[in-house]
Amino acid sequence: MLVLVAPGQGAQAPGFLTPWLDLPGVTERLEEWSTVTELDLVHYGTQADADAIRDTAVAQPLLVAAGLVAAQQLFAAPGDVGRLAGAAAGHSVGEITVAAATGVLAPEAAMSLVRQRGAAMAKAAAVTETGMSAVLGGDPDAVVAHLEKLGLTPANMNGAGQIVAAGTAEQLAALAENKPEKARVIPLKVAGAFHTHHMAPAVDTLAALVPDLDVNDPSTAYVSNKDGQVVAGGGEIVQRLVDQVSNPVRWDRCMETFQRLGVTGMIELCPGGTLSGLAKRALPGVRTVALKTPADLEAARELIADVTSAPSSADAVGVSSADQNAE
């Protein structure tokens, strides 16, 4: 079974969209979405520096646009994601990318929503100086207890020995000075304590937008960050997209669900790398392709062909469909 995944904030890098503009229609599509978001996505994806694209209000629309560009190159025909991928999931803002890729939201609606999400989260982050740090290694239960003792939130439970702590600058400084046993701490280049109570004002902003959204059920099994469960209804997916802004990301449980569904291959949309790295540690034996540049598309197409032509692939997809209907 093939799983399609989309990365979250922090995966972007200066100039990462440059090679994608060589593909037919990509520049035009980005210009259309630039109009929707009132951001020059071509500029931010090709010429802006690291500080400019670190801005939450910019980073989130840029990431969703990049993921959708890659998805549209890989899955050219309507319905291809549902036909070829047995499941899909996104990390944090990547959930919006996957919501569009699986047909829950139209691309333009997804771009409008993520623009509002990024702006609202940036505004919430400006109230107090906050941030996030990755904690690598250590006993997970001991790490969580240590973070909570310092007043930090385990905002991303990523699995594979990685937990992301979020909180105020003072709390993160205390963590850097007082690390959990047998763990390393790496500050992340994000501008806020995402997926914590600090983001509560952004939840209200997004909730007000939901009634105006045109929502469909996903074309394949949609695995939610909230708890790793497969969600069959588009309305519930959108509500979870709103709630997850201030709730922890349980990517560890998403990967557990992938394994339960019988995943054998994973493709990570642009800018790929982070989730593929986690999968290599947490899902040994699962083939992965991270879409970083258009040069990676051929390897992704080969993986799709191999996975979907394998004798067991139909059974694996059948399991995911049954699971989706049971939720």
pLDDT of res. 310 = 74
Write the pLDDT tens digit of every residue in 252-293: 999 999 999 999 999 999 999 999 999 999 999 999 999 999
The pLDDT, as a whole number, for residue 184 is: 96
Question: Does position 315 have pLDDT exceeding 90, yes or no?
Answer: no
Percent residues over pLDDT 90 in the chain:
91
Q: Alpha helix locations (H) across 75-106?
A: 80-84, 94-101
Q: How much is the pLDDT for 308?
A: 87
Exposed, middle or buried, 25 (CB in 10 Å: 0-12/13-18/19+)?
A: exposed
pLDDT value, residue 189: 80
How many CB atoms lie under 10 A from the CB of residue 49? 10
Q: Is the pLDDT of residue 103 over 50?
A: yes
Report pLDDT for 311: 62
In this predicted structure, the answer to whether residue 321 has a pLDDT above a threshold of 60 is no
Residue 208 has what DSSP assignment?
T
Residue 324 has what pLDDT?
Answer: 29
pLDDT of residue 77: 82
Mean pLDDT of the chain: 93
The span from the CA of 157 to the CA of 247, in Å, is 11
Region 156-163 average pLDDT: 95
Beta bridge partners of 313: none
Nearest by Cα to 241 from 222, 224, 259: 224
Residue 295 is predicted with a pLDDT of 98
Mean pLDDT to the nearest integer, 5-27: 97
So what's the pLDDT on residue 78? 73
* SS (HEC) of 8-24: CCCCCCCCCCHHHHHCC
pLDDT at 316 over 60: no
Strand partners, 6: 90
Residue range 117-121: average pLDDT? Answer: 96
Q: Taking residues 90-103, report their average pLDDT.
A: 98
- Residue 241's pLDDT band, with cuts at 50, 70 and 90, is very high
| pLDDT tops 90 at residue 313 | no
Active site residues: 92, 195
DSSP 3-state of 177: helix
Over residues 66-94, mean pLDDT: 95
Per-residue pLDDT at 326: 29
**How far is residue 86's CA from residue 147's CA, in Å, rounded to a whole number?**
36
* pTM attached to this predicted model: 0.91
- pLDDT(317) > 70: no
Structure confidence at residue 322 (pLDDT): 30
